[in-house]
Amino acid sequence: MTIRLLVLGTGGMAANHATAFAAIPGVRLVAGVDTRAEQLSAFCTTHGIPHGFASLDEALAWGKFDAVTNVTPDAAHHATTLPLLAAGKHVLCEKPLATNAAQADEMAAAAERAGVVAMVNLTYRNVPALQKAAQIVREGALGAIRHFEASYLQSWLTQPAWGDWRTQDQWLWRLSTEHGSKGVLGDVGIHILDFATFIAGQPTTEISARLATFDKAPGGRIGAYALDANDSATMQLRLAGGALGVVHASRFATGHLNDLRLRIYGTEGGLEVRFENATSRLSACLGIDRLSAAWRPVDCPPVPTIYQRFIAAIRGEGPADPGFARGAELQHWLDRAEDSAAAEARALPV
């Protein structure tokens, strides 16, 4: 089954999407869409894409594609995804699904009505240690979950490993609410919330949060960018089963390029999940090891990527997970975290 794929948006993560999809047998990259003519042309040339369109309307009028990977900025996800769903196209949308829960709910409902595969790119579902840890929890090896702590730490505001954020639009927009950014909470907070609750196998029922934005330039502005989006976030969560946990994320975590960690504890055991320096590791304290507090490494087999799972779902060979409903659920939690931060970290029900 050949699947004709359109790439919507050609900046940032789009190259990763194009490369990954092109490597899947039976997938053809047939078109790209971007309002920036020079960037679109260069992108299509680099990835061997035969058609380029200056607008989504033009692409839809052409119509010779089956599925879309939506790599537009966060604030454009809602407006660009709805017409694709209405046209019966399968969609993989970058996270967050939208910039508020109402729009995310609308997208999830539209996907349900359309009956197409609609998935959200929560990339850390690709981490083998995450999937193995979730399996161990589902099998009951931890017993009842009682406590967890999770972090997503980046340091790109303190070092130039990914480029100079002071001069590059690809980073500056992430620091400005005027340009659609929800700060570290929306950008990576969504990942660590999914990371923690997916492994725990439970939704959150209560959130308390604090957000901080730090001075980064004279007057809080660089050119057209007001640097007002949050840089660090801390959250306290209560899960449906009663467990308490803390979650934090920051772009000021010197020494951590892009690291995620979860420690989760139950009545029968504990797990530690790490994704650091692009390496996935899982340790467990289970069974008789609880008596001596001994921790042992756990083998974690490779797992298919989100791109492979999206194509498999279209072909009817696997579930469409994580779907738009999960993306909308996470957006509700992000909105409540913002509400809590605005209310001096008051604990709010979800």
Q: Is pLDDT of 1 > 90?
A: no
The SS3 of residue 238 is: strand
Q: Provide mean pLDDT across the span 207-226.
A: 97
- Average pLDDT, stretch 36-43? 97
The answer to whether residue 73 scores a pLDDT higher than 90 is: no
pLDDT of residue 162: 87
Reported as a single tens digit per residue, the pLDDT across 223-261 is 999 999 999 999 999 999 999 999 999 999 999 999 999
The pLDDT confidence band at residue 12, using thresholds 50, 70 and 90, is: confident
Q: Give per-residue pLDDT as tens, 250-303.
A: 999 999 999 999 999 999 999 999 999 999 999 999 999 999 999 999 999 999
75 pLDDT above the threshold of 90: no
Q: What is the pLDDT of residue 60?
A: 98
In terms of C-beta density within 10 A (0-12 exposed, 13-18 middle, 19 or more buried), how is residue 278 classed? exposed
Q: What gap in Å lies between CA 107 and CA 258, rounded to an integer? A: 29
Q: Would you state the pLDDT for residue 28?
A: 98
Decide if pLDDT at 74 tops 90. Answer: no
Tokens 């957000």 belong to: 211
Structure confidence at residue 348 as a pLDDT band (50, 70, 90):
very high
Determine the average pLDDT of the residues in 133-149.
98
- For the purposes of burial, counting CB atoms within 10 Å of the CB of 28, is it exposed (0-12), middle (13-18) or buried (19 or more)? middle
What pLDDT shows up at residue 42?
97
| Averaged pLDDT, 150-156 | 97
HSE value, Cβ hemisphere, 13 Å, CA-based, for 221: 7
pLDDT of residue 62 exceeding 90: yes
What are the pLDDT digits (tens) for 160-185? 988 899 998 889 989 999 988 899 99
pLDDT for the residue numbered 333: 97
**pTM (2 d.p.):** 0.94
Higher pLDDT, 1 or 333: 333
Could you give the percent of the chain with pLDDT greater than 90?
93
CB atoms within 10 A of CB 14: 22
Mean pLDDT (the chain) is: 96
| Pairing outcome for strands 269-276 and 279-286 | antiparallel
Cβ atoms of residues 183 and 230 within 8 Å: yes
CB 71 within 8 A of CB 77: no
Q: How far apart are CA 33 and CA 306, in angstroms?
A: 21
The yes-or-no verdict on residue 111 having pLDDT over 90 is yes
What was the pLDDT predicted at 331? 96
Stated length of the chain: 350
For residue 11, pLDDT over 90 is answered with no
Report the distance separating Cα 324 and Cα 108, nearest Å.
Answer: 5
Q: List the end-to-end C-alpha distance of the chain, in Å, as a whole number.
A: 42
